[in-house]
A and B are shown apart, each in its own frame.
Chain A
Amino acid sequence: MVNLIWLLLLATGIIVSALNGHIESVTTSAMKAAEMGVEVAIELIGVMSLWLGLMRLAEEAGFIKGISRLFGPAIRHLFPSLKQDSPALGAIIMNLSANILGLGNAATPFGLKAMQELQKENTTPDTASPAMITFLALNTSCITLIPATIIGVRLKANSANPTEIIGTTIIATGFAMSVAIIVDYIIRNRRRR
């Protein structure tokens, strides 16, 4: 499916550019995007190193285990395939907390760390494990309490009430997240039988 979507994006883009008479924009767009990929990765290396360094401290001091023990029972139901005190749980909890607080650039390092830990417990290394799919469903549909970026945009556009969309945002994500959790649960149980 990913292969097809990737191809469709690229091919549609090129064909539409040709039809719209600006085929040369394909070249600049592709080159710029490739450059941007490097910029994003380099920036991420800095932030990732910072958070993974801190996370190692937290691990060695036993905090991550503590957090897992504290919040673990609540989210354990969602990850029945994980080991009892799996180190993945700590990273998952940190990632979700960062997402909820809207700390986007702290969420990514914890998320990638969680994937690495989940991969260690994955019995089929080239195929997504159920725990990974549950984690990604939670991650991408996670509630953000304060969508700070968009509030900033509204503020700049002279909104009478920039924060009035917080309620609607939480309701929309709340529904999305609930549906994701329920559907994921149903699929997992059906496959296990």
Chain B
Amino acid sequence: MKVIAEISRWAIPLLLLLIPVLAYLRKVPVYESFVAGAEEGFITGVRILPFLIGMLVAIRVFVDSGALETVSHWLQPMFAFLGLDPNFAAIIPLAIMRPLSGSGSLGVATQLINQFGPDSYIGRLASTLQGSTDTTFFVLTVYFGSVGIKKYRYALKLGLLADAIGLIVSVWIVTKVF
């Protein structure tokens, strides 16, 4: 555990040191090569801009409308009927938000953790969910957009399937472990 945290802390400084030093020893013109490579960053950033804006606008309008709260409100009686924790409905907005927006789902998770307590069932489940899956929908649209792919084929379904598995396993493991 501690070892991994240390690796995360040292990884970037070490890369920043080792790559240029070793490249220099191999007679690479380090500064000029760095600049030449860095030039690509600007082009890529500009290329993904329209995709970022398109997705962010739609997601933000959806999230700010309160639609997620409405859905979870509707589903609450169903969870109670199924004999699950009645607070379980509070997780639904997070589960829907997770594949869409990283900052959005972090906001929801933070709010759940503060509302129910970090060591409550909902708090632990929200933490596990937030830590486990990625913003599939967002990543796909931006990554594909950056290289001009229009037809995603089965990519989105596969990504969302992985997210669904992540959600189901999170619920199962959190219920079992704690």
Give the interface of A toward B (CB within 8 A).
1-2, 5-6, 9-10, 12-17, 20, 22, 25-26, 29-30, 32-34, 36-38, 40-42, 44-63, 101-103, 106, 109, 111-113, 115-116, 118-119, 125-128, 132-133, 136-137, 139-142, 144-150, 153-154, 157-169, 171-173, 175-177, 179-180, 183-184, 187
Give the interface of B toward A (CB within 8 A).
1, 4-5, 7-8, 11-12, 15-16, 19-20, 22-23, 26, 28, 30, 33-42, 44-46, 48-49, 52-67, 70, 100, 106, 109-110, 113-114, 117-119, 123-124, 127-137, 139-141, 143-144, 146-159, 161-163, 165-166, 169-170, 173-174, 177-178
A172 touches B58 (CB 8 A): no
User: What are 29 contact pairs spanning A and B, CB under 8 A?
Assistant: A9-B58, A13-B58, A13-B62, A16-B65, A16-B66, A26-B61, A26-B64, A33-B57, A34-B57, A37-B57, A38-B53, A52-B37, A53-B34, A57-B34, A59-B37, A61-B28, A101-B7, A103-B8, A127-B153, A133-B152, A139-B134, A141-B159, A154-B118, A159-B118, A164-B124, A164-B178, A169-B132, A180-B158, A183-B158
Smallest Cβ-Cβ distance to B59: which chain A residue? A9
B45 touches A153 (CB 8 A): no
Smallest Cβ-Cβ distance to A163: which chain B residue? B1
Smallest Cβ-Cβ distance to B22: which chain A residue? A61
B151 touches A56 (CB 8 A): no
CB distance from A188 to the nearest CB of B (A): 10
Q: How far is the CA of A166 from the CA of B57 in the complex (A)?
A: 33
- Please name the 3 residue pairs, one residue from A and one from B, whose CB atoms are nearest each other, closest first: A56-B37, A49-B41, A147-B131
A41 touches B45 (CB 8 A): yes
CB distance from B87 to the nearest CB of A (A): 16
Known contacts A16-B70, A137-B162, A184-B158; can you find 10 more A-B pairs with CB under 8 A? A10-B61, A26-B64, A34-B53, A34-B56, A45-B42, A60-B23, A62-B26, A112-B44, A140-B139, A141-B134
A58 touches B110 (CB 8 A): no
A2 touches B152 (CB 8 A): yes
| A172-B113 contact in complex given A13-B61, A13-B67, C-beta closer than 8 Å | no
CB distance from B23 to the nearest CB of A (A): 4
Smallest Cβ-Cβ distance to A14: which chain B residue? B61
Smallest Cβ-Cβ distance to A94: which chain B residue? B15
Q: How far is the CA of A26 from the CA of B141 in the complex (A)?
A: 22
Smallest Cβ-Cβ distance to B99: which chain A residue? A140
Residue among B61, B67, B123, B159 having the largest count of chain A Cβ atoms under 10 Å? B61
Residues of B within 8 A of A17 (CB): 61, 64-66
B139 touches A127 (CB 8 A): no
Residues of A within 8 A of B26 (CB): 60-62
Q: How far is the CA of A157 from the CA of B127 in the complex (A)?
A: 12
